[in-house]
Structure 1
Amino acid sequence: MEKKKNVAEKSTAKKVQAKSDVAKSLYDLFEDGLKDIYWAEHALVHALPKMFENATDNKLKTAIKEHLDQTIVQVARLEEVFASIGSKAEAKKCDAMEGLLKEGESIMQETEAGAVRDAGIISAAQKVEHYEMATYGTLAAYAKTLNERTALNLLLKTLGEEKKADCLLSTIADTTLNSQAMSDSFQAKKINAV
């Protein structure tokens, strides 16, 4: 019997060549992360109104509107974080958020208006929330390690808001919206069968 090769030996992956402006310290990594999420929050300020316009459920529309208002505050809070560490607020394109927002756009294009689209909007919005929670959690951990107490407190406040937004979206989906989407789908199948 042939010996199994080590997974690393089988891999076709190669070492990544570092860019010239590479992060050389945890502080650099922290600042790069802040730039990414600053871009992401700005992008959300532009994406949330489209989600609002395409949603039909009143609770969902209210949640999106409230989160838009909150996101505007979070952008300002990130500017405070930058100031607290002595840096200028600067955005750097966040590929992850760009991809999540494109996926959300596709979901809206590929679903019929009503409960099914609303369920899709919630799915897309929760993916965004989970990305934000991961990012703010990581940045808070960096701030703690770097002893950036003001930044830490500001980041933890936003992290708490993102967690609440995610829970609210789950509640909206679980209480009636997913059931309504299922019912709408069932009705559409019955109509198509006739």
Structure 2
Amino acid sequence: MTARTVDDLFVHSLSDIYSAEKQLTKALPRLARAATNEELSAAFMTHLEETQGQIERIDELVEGAGIRLKRVKCVAMEGLVEEGREQIEEIEKGPVLDVALIAAAQKVEHYEIAAYGSLIALAKQLGQNDAVRLLAETLKEEKATDEKLSLLAEQKVAAEALGK
């Protein structure tokens, strides 16, 4: 990546998160199938729908701002998805795997929260108010998903894994 300007950096970062979201749309159904807790499985499917909306929001942003995304692969998301895949393969299906899936999903959420926060800061510097609005909407969803996962872990899944 050669970024000479803040605008270049913004386009690259937007292209990267677009790739991340696309990868996530493939990973979330796998997480939902691996989960044994029904609420967790449903949470993954709900987040899949949100992720598809977030991709549409990026498409809207790109079209409105006349941006052309770069063809990049988000290696950070690739690694996070692979880590989740390994856990599915290595941990017996049940409450312990559910805890691991929540942890893996929260790592993804924290990555996305950081990425969208940075994109918002860049968009503000560039005076792209529509982009700020669209990205802030996605950031709010990512934070809400992280919070839902925390509550699910604390109130249900961890207790199941501990046999309580």
Task: Say whether the fold is shared (TM-score over 0.5).
Answer: yes
Cα deviation for residue 91 of structure 1 reads: 4.2
**Which of the pair has the greater relative contact order for Cα pairs under 8 Å at 6+ separation?**
2
Could you tell me which residue of structure 2 aligns to residue 142 of structure 1? Answer: 122
CA contact (8 A) 2:19 2:73 kept: yes
Cα deviation for residue 104 of structure 1 reads: 0.7
Could you tell me which residue of structure 1 aligns to residue 87 of structure 2? Answer: 107
State the one-letter code of the partner of 1:171.
Answer: L
Where is the helix percentage greater, Structure 1 or Structure 2? 2
**Number of residue pairs the alignment of both structures matches:** 164
Please tell me whether Structure 1 or Structure 2 has the larger radius of gyration of its CA atoms: 1
Matched, 1:98 2:78: yes
Q: What is the CA–CA distance in structure 2 between the aligned matches of 1:80 and 1:144, rounded to whole Å?
A: 17
TM-score, normalized by length of structure 2?
0.96
Q: What is the CA–CA distance in structure 1 between the aligned matches of 2:89 and 2:98, rounded to whole Å?
A: 12
Could you tell me which residue of structure 2 aligns to residue 126 of structure 1? Answer: 106
Name segments (4+ residues, structure 1) moved above 6 Å: none
Contiguous gaps of at least 5 residues in structure 1 = 1-20, 185-194
CA contact (8 A) 1:38 1:90 kept: no
Cα deviation for residue 180 of structure 1 reads: 1.2
Q: What RMSD in Å do the two structures reach over aligned CA positions?
A: 1.2
- CA deviation profile, 1:111-164 (whole Å, cap 9, x unmatched): 111111111100000000000000000000100111000000000000000000
Name which of 5, 16, 24 aligns with 1:44: 24
- CA deviation profile, 1:23-74 (whole Å, cap 9, x unmatched): 0001100000000000010000111000011111011011111000010111
Shift of the 166–119 alpha-carbon distance from structure 1 to 2, 3 Å rule, reads same
Of all paired residues, the percent bearing the same amino acid is 43
Q: Structure 2 matches for 1:109-188, cutoff 5 A? A: 109-183=89-163
Cα deviation for residue 94 of structure 1 reads: 0.6
State the one-letter code of the partner of 2:56.
Answer: A
